Structure 1
Amino acid sequence: MLTDEFGREVTGVRISLTDRCNFDCVYCHNEGLGDTRGPMDPQDEEMNTDDVVRFLEVVTEFDIDSVKFTGGEPMLRSDLAEIIARTPDELAVSMTTNGTFLPGRAEELVEAGLERVNISQDALDPDAFARITKSGAYDAVLDGVEAALDAGLDPVKLNMVVFSHTAGYVPEMVDHVAANPGLQLQLIEYMPELTGNPEWAIDIERVHRWLADQARVVEQREMHDRTRYWIEADGECPSPAASDRTPDAVDGPAGMVEIVDPVENPTFCANCHRVRVTHDGYLKGCLNRNDDLRPMGEMSKGEIREAFREVVANRVPFYGEYMVRTADGSWEVNDEYVDTVASD
């Protein structure tokens, strides 16, 4: 297993299979690359099936234990089932999707080896959903969630980006997952440093505090040091004492709500164990950075192996190393660090 200079073992990879998407979400950062999306037809620069599988075969040599397929919209890849079926058995396989193509295909993907799925659903209101995603696919997403559950992808984790357009729908979404045992909710902090529009950002700590007041149990996850809140459907059960608020205290049906809050969060970065791969075959050590992309050449196993070692060796926490806090409390690029990297 490879470990970076900050002692973080790299245990998972996240692979963008395409930057194409049938949605045009206003908050999209396309795995940190910005709006690179082009025509909806397959593009020559996308890694082919063999490239993806060859990469996965190499990273198992380094004890990687999980892969998440993303996009864009990964289900626009006609070879998705083949990629999943050819993924080494050592790897747990999950996918992030908008869900619109799951009806009719979910069972095939499960048979191929898909184990978990995240589905983007930013509101339970069709009009709000349409404004956020610039699509009229609200019903198709609900059908996709149902198809995933029917295929055995239980629990289905719903992804909701929390910003000014969606914050008012958080309580309704929490109630929704609490009342439906097959669902979980992942609230993702809006990242203006990647998408612009800083006026859309909200105070994510307010969401934490609200959930803590509602929760039957509060749990801390090692991955990114994320906080999970277990909330009962009726909302009437008083929270236990702080010392009892552990997963073992859940004695009945409860919805799991998790917050992903990376912005200005050194602790989040310090607990990151993931390397990303762009749709066109570059390794990416951090979501927020595009100055450290490592090409994998012609995708031979030797080139993949060398590039993977390099990108792990050069990983840094985005906040606290690559970005540093200034005297007024804001964050800026650490020019000294960038100059050091450039001279290496």
Structure 2
Amino acid sequence: MLSDEFGREVSGVRVSLTDRCNFDCVYCHNEGLGDTRGPMDPQEDEMTADEVVRFLEVVAEFGVEKVKFTGGEPMLRQDLEEIISRTPDSMEVSMTTNGTFLPGRAEGLVEAGLERVNVSQDAMEPEAFAEVTKTGAYERVIEGVESALDAGLDPVKLNMVVFERTAGYVPQMVDHVAENPGLQLQLIEYMPELTGKPEWAIDIERVHNWLAEQADEIEHREMHDRKRYWIGGTSDEDGGMVEIVDPVENPTFCANCHRVRVTHDGYLKGCLNRNDDLKPMGDMTRDEIRDAFRETVAQRVPFYGEYMVRNGDGEWEMNDDYLDFGQVTSD
């Protein structure tokens, strides 16, 4: 398994299969690339199934154990089942989706090899959901979650971005997962550095403190130094699991990152928050993929605490050591 110079092994990859999406979520950062979503029709710059599988076969040589397929909305790819079925057997396969296409396809995805799924659900009320996603697809998402559970995906993790418009629905979402076996909740800190509108951000520590008061058990997870809160029971007694993803201004989070990302058009990305480290894989021959992957891992830097450091006033600023990093774009 390859490690960067900070001792962080790369054990997982996140592969964006498309930047297309049938939602228009107000907080979307499209895997850190910004709002680049295109039309609904397949685009020529998207990696083919063969290219995705070739990449996964190569990184499996380096001991990568997990792949998460993302987007955009990955289920807009009609060859998704094929890609999953051809993923190396040594890899755990998961996916993040808005859930609208799970009805009718969840069972086939499981048969292809999908093991876990994250479904974006930011509220328990249709009106609030529509305000955030700019769609009227609430009932379809609920149906998608049920389809995932019926197909045997376990757990089904609900993703909720916590910001000004959604924070008031956190207690309701926590009760929902506590009352429904098979569901878990992932509360994701809003990232204004990627999406703008810093006025939408809330103090995520308040959410931690509230959950700590409600929890029957608190578990520490090594990856990203995360905390898990078990509500309505413990990890051994069918409690509802709630986890917070809090990367903003968090050096500990970055110090425990073990992922490399792949853009929909075939660029390696060492850090979610950066786009000056995009590395092309050429024509995606196996040798080109190996070389690009080695270089990407070698150049990975913890964003907070290294790429960004605190100055004498306690404010974050770019570390001079990385100012001359050659920017690569996908144009």
Q: Distance in 1 between matches of 2:253 and 2:41?
A: 36
Between the aligned partners of 1:323 and 1:282, the Cα distance in structure 2 is 23
What amino acid is the match of 1:11? S
Residue 175 of structure 2 aligns with which residue?
A: 175
* 1:106 matches 2:106: yes
2:263 is matched with which residue: 274, 278, 292? Answer: 278
Residue type matched to 1:12 in 2? G
1: CA distance, partners of 2:250 / 2:265? 29
CA distance in 2, matches of 1:53, 1:182: 30
What is the letter of the counterpart of residue 74 of structure 1?
Answer: P
User: Counterparts of 1:82 and 1:119 in 2: how far apart (Å)?
Assistant: 21
Q: 2:246 corresponds to which letter in structure 1?
A: D
2:84 and 2:173 map into 1 onto residues whose CA distance is 30
Deviations 1:42-81 (A, max 9, x none): 0000000000000000001000000000000000001000
1:19 and 1:57 mapped to 2: Cα distance? 23
Equivalent AA in structure 2 for residue 174 of structure 1: V
Do the aligned partners of 1:47 and 1:280 also contact (CA within 8 Å) in 2? Answer: yes
Q: CA deviation at 1:327?
A: 2.6
CA contact (8 A) 2:277 2:326 kept: no
Q: Please report how far the alpha carbon of residue 125 of structure 1 lies from its aligned counterpart in structure 2 after TM superposition.
A: 1.0
Give the corresponding residue for 1:267: 252
**How big is the shift at 1:85?**
0.3
Structure 2 residue matching 1:160: 3-state secondary structure: strand
SS at structure 1 position matched to 2:14 = strand
Runs of 4+ more than 4 Å apart: none
* Residue number in structure 1 paired with 2:285: 300
Contact 1:164 1:201 in 2 (8 A): yes
Query: Mapping of 1:1-344 within 5 angstroms?
Result: 1-232=1-232, 250-339=235-324, 341-342=325-326
Q: Supply the AA of the counterpart residue of 1:84.
A: I
- Cα shift at 1:38: 1.1
**How many pairs does the alignment contain?**
327
Contact in 2 for aligned 1:216/1:250 (Cα 8 Å): no
Deviation at 1:251, TM superposition (A): 4.5
Return 5+ residue gaps in structure 2 as ranges: none
List alignment gaps of at least 5 residues for structure 1: 234-248
> What amino acid sits opposite 1:317 in the alignment?
P
In structure 2, how many angstroms separate the alpha carbons of the residues matched to 1:182 and 1:151? 12
| Deviation of 1:155 (Å) | 1.5
Matched residue type, 1:262? P
User: Alpha-carbon deviations, 1:233-277, whole Å to 9, x = none?
Assistant: 6xxxxxxxxxxxxxxx64422000000000000000000000000
Q: Kindly indicate whether the alpha-carbon contact (under 8 Å) linking 1:18 and 1:73 is maintained by their aligned counterparts in 2.
A: yes
TM-score, length-scaled by structure 1: 0.93
* CA-to-aligned-CA distance 1:299-331 (integer Å, 9 cap, x gap): 100000000000000000000111111233221
Q: 1:251/1:75 Cα in 2 relative to 1: closer, same or farther (>3 Å)?
A: closer
SS in 2 for 1:207: helix
What letter corresponds to residue 155 of structure 1 in structure 2?
Answer: P
Q: Contact 1:322/1:338 (CA < 8 Å) preserved in 2?
A: no
Tell me which amino acid in the other structure corresponds to 1:143.
E
Distance 1:73 1:113 in 2: 19
Alignment partner of 1:52: what SS?
A: helix
Question: How far off its partner does 1:285 sit?
Answer: 0.2
The AA in structure 1 aligned to 2:309 is: V
Q: Please tell me whether the aligned partners of residues 276 and 326 of structure 2 are also in contact (alpha carbons under 8 angstroms).
A: no
In 1, Cα distance between the equivalents of 2:2 and 2:261?
15
